Structure formats: C-alpha cells, structure tokens
Chains A and B, each alone.
Chain A
Amino acid sequence: MGFHVASSWQNLFFCFIGTLFGTLIGVLPGIGPTTGVAILIPITFGMNPTTAIITMAGVYYGAMYGGSTTSILLNVPGESSSVMTTLDGYQMARKGRPGPALGMAALSSFIAGTFAVLMLTLIAPVLANYAVSFGPPEYFALTFMGLTMVTSLGGDAPLKGIISAALGILVACVGIDAQSGVGRFTFDNLYLLDGVGFIGMAVGLFAVSEVLINIEEPMQRIFTETKLNIRSLFPNLQDWKDSFGALWRGSIIGFFVGVLPGAGAVIASFMAYAVEKRCSRHPELFGTGVIEGVAAPEGANNAAAGGALVPLLTLGIPGSGTTAVLMGALLIHGMRPGPLLFSAHPDFVWGLIASMYIGNVMLIIQNMPMVGLWVRLLKIPYKILMPLIIAISAVGVFATDGNIFDMWVMVFFGFLGYLMRKLDYPAAPMVLALVLGPMMEMALRQSLTLSYGSPTVFFNRPISGVLMVFALLSLFAPLLRLLWNRYKVGGKAAI
C-alpha cells in the first residue's frame, strides 16, 4: 500500500528534486541535512503531507551522500556523520580510487538503508520497548564506549588518541552548562556562550589542516594515477568481497544505535568503523585506504537514519536533529507522531517508509553517473583546487550561522590540526568527543544524581554494565597488549 502511495509520478518527481537539492547542499561544507530539510519546510507547505515528507526524505539522504562526497574527494567532512568516511575514503582518492570509494559509499548507503527500512517495517513496535529501556546510565555507558572505541584508533600511539579525546571533551565543556546555567571557559566572550561549533572545528581540523599539509610541498594533483575507464569508476569484485562483512556489521550497528533517541548517525558511524577495524584481518591497513573503512561507516549512518524513525513513529520522540525537524514538519501538516500514527494515518506512515526506500534508490540512480563527473573534478591541478577548497570551506563555515566567530574557530582548529598532524595526534577522537561530550556529561550527571553520587550505578544495571566493561576493555586493551608484548619480547614499543 505504501509503495503504491509513494510511487505516484508526482511523488517520484519531488523525491528526485529533493535528492538533487540535498546532494548539492551536502556537498557544501557546513550546511547539512538538518539545514536542508529546514529550508524546504516552507516550500512544502503547499504540497500534500505525503509528498512533502517524501521530498524531505530525499533531501536528507541527498545531503548525507553529498557530505560523503566531499569527505572522500577533499577530506572535508560535510557533516558529523561523514567524519569517519574521510579516514579511508580520502586515502582511496589519493591512491587513484575515488570512483570505487564514492560508488561504495552510495551502494553501502543504499543497502544499509534498505536493511533499516525492512527492519523498521518488521519490528518497529518491539524496538520501541528497547528504546525506552535506555536510561541515563546506559546513555553514559554507550557514549563512553563510543569514545573509547575511537581512541583505540590512534594507530601505534593510543596515548595520543586518548589525549586527543580528552582535549575534545574539554572543548565540549566550553559554553553555558545546560544543567546549571553557569558559563564555563567563556572568558566574557559573547560567542563562546554557545560553545565551540562543530562545523568550525571539523572543517578546521580536517580540511584546513589537510590543505596546509599539502602546501608544504607543491602537489600536482590530488591523485596521480588517473584511470577513467568505466570499470575503474565502480567497486570491483574484490571490493565487494572485502566489504560484505562490513556492510552487515555496519547496517546492524547503525540501525540499533539509530533507534536510541539521541544517539544517531554519528555514533553509529564511529562505532561501525571501530568494530570493522577490530574484526578485520589487516587492521593496520585502516586509515590508508581500505574499502571496508568506507563501507562500514557509510552503511551505518544510513541505517541509523532509518533507525531514527522508530522512536519518532512509535513513541513520538524525535531521535536526532533531523528527525526533530521532520517531526515539526509532520505537526505542521496535521499529523501527531506517536503510537496512534500507525492507526490514524496508515497510508501516510507507510508512504513515509516507502519514501525512504525510494530516496535510497533515487540516490543511486542519480549519483552513480555523477561519480565520473566528480572524479574528473579531481583532475584539476591542485594549485587551482587549493584556494577553492579553502574559500569554500571558509564561506561554508560562515554560512552555517552567519557568524564570523565560526570562521575564527575554523582558523584556530586549522592551525591546531596542522600541529596535531605533525605531532601524530589523531583528529577523529577530538571531533567525536566534541559531539558526544554534552550528551555524555548530561548522562553522567543525571546518573550520579539518581544514585546520590555512587558510581556503581553504571555497573549495577545489566545493559550499562556490559557496555562499560566493553568500554574499559577498549580503553585498556592497547596498554595491556603493550605490556604483554614487552614482557614477551622485552622490546621498547611506543606508548
């Protein structure tokens, strides 16, 4: 029934426009899916609700994919869920394989998104119970685990990864504390009251620092080998074989993390990448351009998008910024998300679910031909691309809020990012800490308030206990492994 509703010509057409618009929005650094969907709300007033939702779903998916595109081609994360894609995606582009990276990003997004939609249709009500069983200790354990898993990505120097994450948490503390109204580290600066913006930090740490590194030695092109025949533009059979497991793991992790209100595409992508690295037979290759490093986070963030609809549709709780905007749009059109939505407006709900699927398909149809175009873009000599990248990044960051302060943040983190690269500190943990910090702190303080200050609350409850054990293992495993190696070999491995 939903497909019948969703596949009318009008809806398909608007979905196409939506994904096109969304991709363009996503490619611009700074402006992300939430903004894109928000821009569209007034335009969709005149449409009937189903068409409006279908268009917005198209924009959302388009923007996610656009963000992945710049992550892979330019090391510019379009928004927080694309940060992990930069790690291997950009390296693949440098090695002359941007096409397969882009293709795998699109295809894994599609496959995982489809998986999420299937899961959504089959088990949404059951999941509602699972979502509600997560209280503050569980959220703390989950975010803490996400953070510790990513710090273990710090290559041969896990200590530097931990330092990076710890500094990120401190940066996240800047601003007005949500629970007490106290300004922390604001130094009487009006703009710091709002905290340090994600976009300034991410673009600075990734894109600007990348450009600065490349300026050191004049670089001819982003990648030197250029094969442009059709076959090299898409993932080959070996790529598919390598990514098969990654897709499964990414989809499952992404969906179940996305179901939790508050936890979304970002955590899902980070965790999927970390898990993939753990499960891999060649973990040391992650970060140099392995296709699983693109398939896992890309699949996870799309599956999370599907999962985020579960609390929205079953409980009326928006799970992320974008679903909150979506919920606002639903309310404007006269629908109340919640347990009654399925019975009151079934055609709409199924139309929505089908629209997500169609959005995914539309993405593939639209973007596979564009892969060739993007790859051609990379052949522009770097001396021309470089000012372009910096200018687009700077303007994009400014355009997010119309605030010059975000540009200052970008400049500062660009400089810091350059230093961090030189000194071998990974940037991903810092960015993740900025995103997860506020949620983690709130969960921590709520948990400790609930338990009157006793930290055992995290271990007494089954779910959070298990997650905390995982987290602590992730944190100390490198150290234990190191000590074990030293004991066995007597060598001097670096901490």
Chain B
Amino acid sequence: MNTKRIALIVLLGSMLVVPVAQAQIKHIEMRVEGMT
C-alpha cells in the first residue's frame, strides 16, 4: 500500500518537474578575435 502511494507521489512529482527540467541552455557558440 505504502509502495503504491510512494510510486504515485513520485509519478506526480516528475510530471511537475519535467517542463522545468526540459528548459535549458543547449549550446553556446562564440566568435572571438585576437586568439593565437
């Protein structure tokens, strides 16, 4: 019973976290001058 309840809480929690976790900086590209 407890296991089911914990599994449900984890599932609901992950549904809330996913949209934020998906947000991120994927890549940065710079052009620089004066590099030797």
A, B bound: no
